[in-house]
Amino acid sequence: MFPLHDTIPSRQLPLVNWLIILANTVVFIYELSLSSYELETLIHIYGLVPLSITDPEWAKWTGHPTGFAPLLTNMFLHSGWGHFFGNMWTLYIFGDNVEDRMGSFRYLVFYLLTGIVAGLTHVFLHADSTIPAIGASGAISGVMAAYMFLFPHSRIVFFIPLLFLPYFVELPALLYIGLWFVGQLISGITVLAITESASGIAFWAHIGGFIAGAVLYRIFARKRYRALFGDEYNRSYINYA
């Protein structure tokens, strides 16, 4: 089951959302040009290594950055095609409407802030970890939370290959995102009970970013906004068999 799009068209060009996707794409293409050693070095310098935040002396001794810059830079690194494409596609689906609702500058600040909170959550719960955390997932989790609360009546259109025939189904965004968050929460609690190496996914970064988005979206949403479609749901460009 693959998500194709939501049912709410944007009213304006989501410039910042596209620029974020472009920035991630440029960085990912650069990653592909590196050797394995160069890529590992890049990730250790610009990825988020919790112990380098909690123990600056260790960071100096090992050559890791000692400031808080990795809380930002880690958001633009990805570990492979699946990681990169999954994040950018999710941002493509949800980010345009959230930017539409907040305005471009507020959306940019919101995106970066939720990503930073996501990183801090990961650092807090894995303070002694020397494994770099990378990816835009934490910030995108915040965007998903904002979308869920700002557009509760929206639906997500999914593509399901059924006996070689295209089949499309809709799910309420509230249900889809809500179930996704519950899954992250269950996985995050499970990870706390096992060794960190047992999972390559920073579930608590997702959880922290989502909670930050749920708390902050009201502050960043514009007070005056475009007129809404009845229940914020437009079927005009979906065909059903």
Q: What is the pLDDT of residues 161-185, one digit of tens each?
A: 877 777 888 999 999 999 999 999 9
pLDDT of residue 230: 44
Mean residue pLDDT of the chain comes to 89
The answer on pLDDT for 143 being more than 80 is: yes
Domain range annotation of the chain:
2-220
Q: Which residue has the tokens 């906004």?
A: 225
Burial class (CB in 10 A: 0-12, 13-18, 19+), 115: buried
Residue 99 above 70 pLDDT?
yes
Residue 150: enclosing H or E segment and its boundaries?
A: helix 137-150
Residue pLDDT, tens place only, 27-46: 999 999 999 999 999 999 99
pLDDT score, position 225: 61
The Cα 165–Cα 129 span in angstroms is 46
Question: pTM for this one?
Answer: 0.89
CB 42 within 8 A of CB 34: yes
For residue 229, pLDDT over 50 is answered with no
**Is the pLDDT reported for residue 100 higher than 80?**
yes
Taking only the tens place, the pLDDT of each residue in 44-66 is 999 999 999 999 899 889 888 88
Cβ-based neighbours of 13, under 8 Å, separated by 6 or more:
none
State whether the Cα torsion 188-192-193-196 is positive or negative.
Answer: positive
Class level of CATH domain 2-220: mainly alpha
